[in-house]
């Protein structure tokens, strides 16, 4: 994979019709997860602890994409593209200065317990939907994730989405993820394994 392969983002779409109930059932959707009040500089600072642990392993394992290490440690040049949470707890996505690596950082508790991972952009330029976060598909303005606790409208920012504080992978479920265009018409429907905790 060329080191200069960049993340390709879907064009942002502003919803003209904001979904408040599930179009399939008419039941109310859980609220969109809140944007974290933690500032971007604080997120980068707090995420340095798991980032340091990531780099302490000494480099990529056999078969692991070296770009996740080549992107370097989190610095002020890394963009916080999405963050959700309340108080000091948050889940955030940070994009490398080279726009080719995403760091997923989940921090919780006073002692800064964490979950952390990095992903290098695939050959397609798009990540799709992973266990902890997803990339917004083309043509999608709103996303509904059908969690076991009820469907939730995902928080979308800068071409990425989260359905809540994801971390630990302790409750992975195969769920339906639906995308809707600006008028509220369903244009995406697929099942994905996600952190449903």
Q: Is the pLDDT of residue 61 over 90?
A: no
CA distance 135 to 6: 14
Residue 80 or residue 62, greater confidence? 80
> Cα–Cα distances in Å, from 42 out to 46, 47, 197?
6, 8, 25
- CA 64: distance to chain centroid? 20
Instruction: Name the token pair of 84.
Output: 């959700």
pLDDT in tens, 30-55: 999 999 999 999 999 999 999 999 99
- Categorize the per-residue pLDDT at 3 as very low, low, confident or very high, splitting at 50, 70 and 90: low
* Share of residues in the chain with pLDDT > 70 (%): 97
**125 in Cβ contact with 143 (< 8 Å):** no
pLDDT of residue 170: 73
């Amino acid at each position: 994979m060329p080191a200069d392969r960049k993340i390709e983002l879907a064009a942002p779409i502003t919803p003209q019709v904001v979904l408040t109930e599930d179009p399939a059932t008419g039941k109310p959707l859980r609220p969109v997860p809140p944007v974290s009040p933690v500032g971007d500089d604080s997120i980068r600072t707090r995420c340095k602890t798991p980032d340091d642990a990531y780099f302490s392993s000494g480099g990529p394992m056999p078969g692991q994409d070296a770009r996740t290490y080549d992107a370097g440690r989190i610095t002020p040049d890394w963009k916080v593209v999405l963050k959700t949470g309340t108080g000091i707890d948050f889940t955030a996505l940070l994009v490398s200065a080279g726009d080719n690596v995403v760091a997923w950082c989940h921090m919780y508790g006073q002692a800064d317990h964490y979950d952390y991972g990095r992903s290098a952009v695939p050959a397609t330029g798009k990540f799709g939907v992973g266990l902890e976060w997803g990339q917004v598909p083309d043509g999608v303005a709103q996303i509904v994730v059908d969690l076991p606790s009820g469907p939730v409208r995902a928080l979308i920012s800068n071409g990425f989405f989260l359905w809540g504080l994801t971390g630990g992978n302790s409750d992975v479920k195969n769920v339906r993820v639906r995308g809707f265009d600006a008028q509220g018409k369903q244009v995406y429907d697929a099942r994905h394994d996600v952190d449903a905790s």
